[in-house]
Each structure stands twice: as C-alpha cells, then as structure tokens.
Chain A
C-alpha cells in the first residue's frame, strides 16, 4: 500500500519563527489533507490540497502531486501552533480511505 513519510518528526521553535513541514508519499493520490491535532486529540482540518497552493492566514501549503510531496508552511509561529501535524493521503478511486503519516510534533516556545 501507499507509504506516507513526514519530516521532521520533531521540531522546536521560538515564537515568531517560521517552519516548513514536509510530506512525501509513494504513489499517486488525488486527495491530500493536512491536520493539526490539538492537545485534546481533536483533528482540525487545515488544508484539503491534492495539488497546487493554498493559504490561510499564517499557514500555507503546496502539493506537487507529480513529484509526490506536499509542504506545510507556518509563519510567525505562536505557542498555540504547538501540537501534532498530520499529512494524510487518499485516492477516491479506492474510496478515499486516508493513509496517515506518523506526524510532526511541533513545540513553540515563548
């Protein structure tokens, strides 16, 4: 089955710093989502981005489907950005079952 790798596994930032999280996947996909898991375990939708670039406030994401990777950019990080970031991919031809990466644990220090 498809493999999803996220890097880095852990990241510690000073408040105000920028960061880039990466997601590599091993096969063609037509669904890709980025999530933030908050301290209570809730998965918060950040982006639905099977291709192209999107921006939402301090966050933006780019997916290059032909090269099988996606990037999540966090600018001017805040302590509330702390948590685990997951990339998940799927293929709607197979029911869109999401395959998750192992996540990036982000800690933003004040």
Chain B
C-alpha cells in the first residue's frame, strides 16, 4: 500500500515569507507526527496528533510554527515569517495509533531552504 507522502519535496523561500508543508499519512493511521532534521540539532520532535484529541505541541520551537490536521487525515505544518534557522528537512510520520506496539513510518520529507 501507499506510504506516507509529503509535498512539496523541496521549498525555497525568502526570509519573512510564510510556508505550508503537507503530509498525507498512511490510510487508517490515526497518529501523525512532525519532526525536523537540521545540521545543528539532529532529528527532533515538533508536534503530534492522535485522533480527535488536542495535539501535543510541546516540540514546536516558536509560536511562528503551527499545524493542523483536517478530518483526521491530511496535516499541514505552517511556518510564519520564516527565518534562516528554519532551514531543515521536515519529516512526517504516522502510526496506527500512539499506544503500545505501534511502529512509526516516515515520509520522504520536505527540504526547506530560507534565503
């Protein structure tokens, strides 16, 4: 079956602009996670959604970052007023749920470059 998909694969933007990154999880997966991978920080958790529960935003680095998940499926990560330090690869993952015995599967990522 189809895996996790993300779009766009690459995004170049100017400092100060807003960007939206999209994630389509594996069909039937109720848990969805966003991570980012940057040279200085490695792979770090940003936010996660489980079903209709309020998202866990504990990893978001600033209030310029937000995310939505509509209809329990597709998610959008929005970065407002982008800064150069936001340049990174943004990875989305999904799992059947966030309980026991649940393996996370990752999408190919969106490489964001802020000029």
The number of chain B residues with a CB under 8 A from chain A is 28
B52 within 8 A of A: no
Report the bound CA distance from A43 to B59 in whole Å.
20
Given contacts A86-B43, A95-B56, contact A41 B104 (CB under 8 A): no
Query: A48: which B residues are within 8 A, CB to CB?
Result: 103
In the complex the two chains form, is A31's CB within 8 Å of B59's CB? no
Pairwise interchain contact B108-A40, C-beta atoms closer than 8 A: yes
Whether the Cβ atoms of A96 and B31 lie closer than 8 Å is: yes
Among residues of B, the one whose C-beta sits closest to the C-beta of A96 is B98
CB-CB contacts below 8 Å: A21-45 with B: 30-31, 33, 35, 40-43, 45
In the assembled complex, A59 has its CB within 8 A of some CB on chain B: no
Interface string of B81-115 (1 = CB under 8 A from A): 00000000101010100111011111011010000
- A95 partner, pick from B37, B43, B50, B89, beta carbons under 8 A: B50
Beyond A30-B100, A99-B45, 11 additional contacts (C-beta under 8 Å) are: A40-B108, A45-B106, A88-B43, A92-B100, A95-B50, A95-B56, A95-B98, A96-B98, A98-B33, A100-B44, A102-B42
